[in-house]
Amino acid sequence: MNRERPEWWFRLALVVKGADGGLQLLGALVLVAVPPSLISGVANAVTTRDLLGDHNGTLAHHLSKAAAEFADSGTRTFAIWYLLLHGVVKLGLVAALSRRVVGAFPVAVVVMAAFVAYEVVRAVRTGSVGLAVLAVLDVVVIGLVWRELTKLRREQRTAVQR
């Protein structure tokens, strides 16, 4: 298999997106099963035992604040639904794209562009470098999906002409 071929990169992107979708779905299910009090308790145990350094330090403060915000039912509910929907959508798109369902390709581009827009807005608001990197990777995947779509359409035109 030639690693320089865009099809190989497309397949790799599908595997990564599928794994990501599966992990997001699993994360949503874990969040449903784990009570907020357990998350707050773990954060409290980590900070009081100085596992992050000084329990009054910046890292401990951020962990405590994040655990408290997450315990808020609205934040927890949002995280569960976000992960659940994001995971299901990704897995559905990966399944359709891997089966080369031509109609799924434009849908995937639009959905992923919406994810990129959200990642960029969230990265700007929070200063998250990780989200910015994910947005760039998603743009690359969009390019690979588009390239595969144009290849499929060309193959279909060639098959019809024969």
Q: What is the pLDDT of residues 86-118, one digit of tens each?
A: 899 999 999 999 999 999 999 999 999 998 998
Here the tokens at position 48 are 């009081």
Asked if the structure places residue 109 within a domain, the reply is: yes
> pLDDT-based confidence at 1, cuts 50/70/90?
very low
Q: What pLDDT shows up at residue 94?
A: 94
**Pick from 85, 110, 144: which residue ends a domain?**
85
Q: What is the pTM of this model?
A: 0.72
Residues 56 and 114 in one domain: no
Domain membership of residue 66 as a residue range: 1-85
Q: Does residue 29 contact residue 79 with C-beta atoms inside 8 Å?
A: no
**Pick from 53, 85, 117: which residue ends a domain?**
85
Alpha-carbon distance 12 to 27, whole Å?
A: 22
The stretch 41-55 carries a mean pLDDT of 68
Q: What pLDDT shows up at residue 50?
A: 59
State the greatest distance between any 2 C-alpha atoms of the chain, in Å, as a whole number: 73
Alpha-carbon distance 39 to 48, whole Å?
A: 14
Residues 66 and 19 in one domain: yes
Q: Is residue 145 scored above 70 in pLDDT?
A: yes
Q: What pLDDT shows up at residue 79?
A: 81
> 18-22, 40-44, 143-147: which range is least confident on average?
40-44
Return the top range by mean pLDDT from 36-50, 99-113, 127-141: 99-113
Residues 50 and 117 in one domain: no
Q: How many domains does the chain have?
A: 2
Residues 106 and 70 in one domain: no
Q: What pLDDT shows up at residue 116?
A: 93
Asked if the structure places residue 139 within a domain, the reply is: yes
**Pick from 37, 55, 85: which residue ends a domain?**
85
Residues 104 and 143 in one domain: yes
Q: Does residue 124 contact residue 84 with C-beta atoms inside 8 Å?
A: no
Q: Does residue 28 contact residue 12 with C-beta atoms inside 8 Å?
A: no
Residues 120 and 45 in one domain: no
Asked if the structure places residue 95 within a domain, the reply is: no
Pick the closest to residue 110 from 142, 77, 149, 144 (CA basis).
142
Alpha-carbon distance 27 to 93, whole Å?
A: 19
Q: Does residue 139 contact residue 120 with C-beta atoms inside 8 Å?
A: no
The 8 Å CB, 24+ separation contacts for 146-153 are 146/105, 146/109, 147/6, 147/10, 148/6, 148/7, 148/10, 148/97, 148/105, 149/102, 149/105, 149/106, 149/109, 151/7, 152/100, 152/102, 152/105, 153/102
